[in-house]
Chain A
Amino acid sequence: MTLLHPRLAGALGWTSLAALVVLAMFGLWGAPPDRVQSDAQRLMYLHVPSAWIAYLAFGVTALSSALYLWRRTRSPVWDRLAGASAELGVLFTALTLVLGSLWGRPVWGVWWAWDARLVTTAVLFFLYVGYLALRRVPSAVETRAKRSAIAALIAFVDVPIVHFSVNWWRTLHQQATVFTPSLNAHIHGVMAFTLWWGVLAFTLLYVYLLDKRYRLEALEEDRDARELAQAIDERVQGAGVAAPAERAEVGADR
């Protein structure tokens, strides 16, 4: 039912909370203000880690979906993991967009700019909102799992095309700072530390929340199965001999 041992999950929760507190201290006071953007730049310590988690989460969704579709590794574990991770991905994508918007207002002078990375992220957000909507449609567990897994892979294949086409269309975002060949050469030591710490803290938080969502998903499936069994039992007792036909009807009602 769970991904992690309950005690490990609990410890992880407290560790990520502590890491976030340290991040807040470094982000607000430890790191020096940016020479050009001054305090507004501090949003980076949240914005970049949430973007990283969003990508990580969608990557996990795609990988779990592929593992579900591959017959030799098919297991409800991958389906639940894909769903739980996609939800977190959408959450962190939304957070990335909101934080970026708040950061853009003082620095660019606008809440939203039609810049390539913004547009790609917005499309990414809606791609997976659609995926979550598909997951919400009531169906038999296996049917839903297979359908969702295929939808997740289609979305994943579409992401590079969206990225590429939008990039061609327009670009004004600041160029990649951290993931350049001369790693970390362009940013101050404490700033770099705070940024990497943020990535670490958010990753811990992601794993913690993933475990929670996974457990919830498993419990929901369990509840649905129980309710179905109960409904069948009630009908069987109520209808007597007509039971087999009733049972078939319940199955076809999906």
Chain B
Amino acid sequence: MSLLQEAALVAGKDLRIEARSRVTAQQILPFGLIVLLLFAFALDPDRGVLTRVAPGLFWVTVLLGTLLAVGRAFSIESENGALDGLRLSGLDGGALFLGKAAAVAVELLALEALLAAGVVVLFNVGLAGLAPLLLGTLAATVGLAATGTLYGVLAAGLRVRETLLPVLLLPVVAPVLLGATRTWEASINGVSGDAWPWVALLGIFAVLFTGIGMLAFGPLLEES
């Protein structure tokens, strides 16, 4: 089997579990919408504050969703000795990483689609400049899924996993939040030219951390 076929196998497994257990659909997606509501309670919805800061709120919510999705991606491996199963499966470490990260990325894309609808309807945002907006979102999602999966396996098997993950992951993805928010702001405000450099930064981040993840996943899985 080629690397990509192996990765597809792992991603398919994870997504099948999600499709059957519905944790993403019934817990992570509603969580995202609740956070959007909370932002409206915390800020003043009538004076256009929400519309102005919507890109930032959107991406902060995605970041919180990433923590849940990554936590979930490794909690399904912690039961029934599944982690040992992965180690013994003979699959390449890089393929395992790509598969796990791809499944997280698909879940995040679903969350982002729902949240985008949420900010359009609830925060009165008109999405525009779709080319940089969509490409930037895709690159940011890949970057988040890659770093999330990398730190997920780093913390997998530790008893303090849930509390350790945010403190490790959030500072590292700070550039993603920054880049993705600027991309959205520039696109929505109709200055797509300002968005493209950020899209490039997000792309570099995604490629870099996908590469590191493919190299480091195997050794980290053995050690956890």
Query: Which residue of chain A lies nearest to B158 when distances are taken between CB atoms in the complex?
Result: A137
Is B182 in the interface zone, CB < 8 Å from A?
Answer: yes
Known: A166-B178, A169-B178. A130 touches B168 (CB 8 A): yes
Is A225 in the interface zone, CB < 8 Å from B?
Answer: no
Is B179 in the interface zone, CB < 8 Å from A?
Answer: yes
Q: Which of B160, B172, B175 contacts A154 (CB 8 A)?
A: B172
Query: Per-position contact with B for A104-138: 1 when CB-CB < 8 Å, else 0?
Result: 00000000000000000001001101110110010
User: A137 CA to B164 CA in the complex, in Å?
Assistant: 9
* Contact assessment for A151 and B201 in the assembled complex, using a CB-CB cutoff below 8 Å: no
Q: Which of B167, B182, B208 contacts A129 (CB 8 A)?
A: B167
Query: Which residue of chain A lies nearest to B217 when distances are taken between CB atoms in the complex?
Result: A150
List which B141-192 residues lie within 8 A (CB) of chain A. 150, 154-155, 158-160, 164, 167-168, 170-172, 174-175, 178-179, 182
Is A157 in the interface zone, CB < 8 Å from B?
Answer: yes
Count of B residues near A, CB < 8 Å? 29
**Contact residues in A for B118 (Cβ distance below 8 Å):** none
**Contact residues in A for B219 (Cβ distance below 8 Å):** 146, 150
* Contact assessment for B171 and A154 in the assembled complex, using a CB-CB cutoff below 8 Å: no
Q: Which of B158, B175, B197, B216 contacts A161 (CB 8 A)?
A: B175
Query: Which residue of chain A lies nearest to B163 when distances are taken between CB atoms in the complex?
Result: A133
* Contact assessment for A157 and B212 in the assembled complex, using a CB-CB cutoff below 8 Å: yes
User: A126 CA to B164 CA in the complex, in Å?
Assistant: 12
* Contact assessment for A169 and B182 in the assembled complex, using a CB-CB cutoff below 8 Å: yes
Chain B residues in contact with chain A, CB under 8 A? 150, 154-155, 158-160, 164, 167-168, 170-172, 174-175, 178-179, 182, 197-198, 201, 204-205, 208, 212, 216, 219-220, 223-224
Chain A residues in contact with chain B, CB under 8 A? 123, 126-127, 129-131, 133-134, 137, 139, 143, 146-147, 150-151, 154-155, 157-158, 161-162, 164-166, 168-169
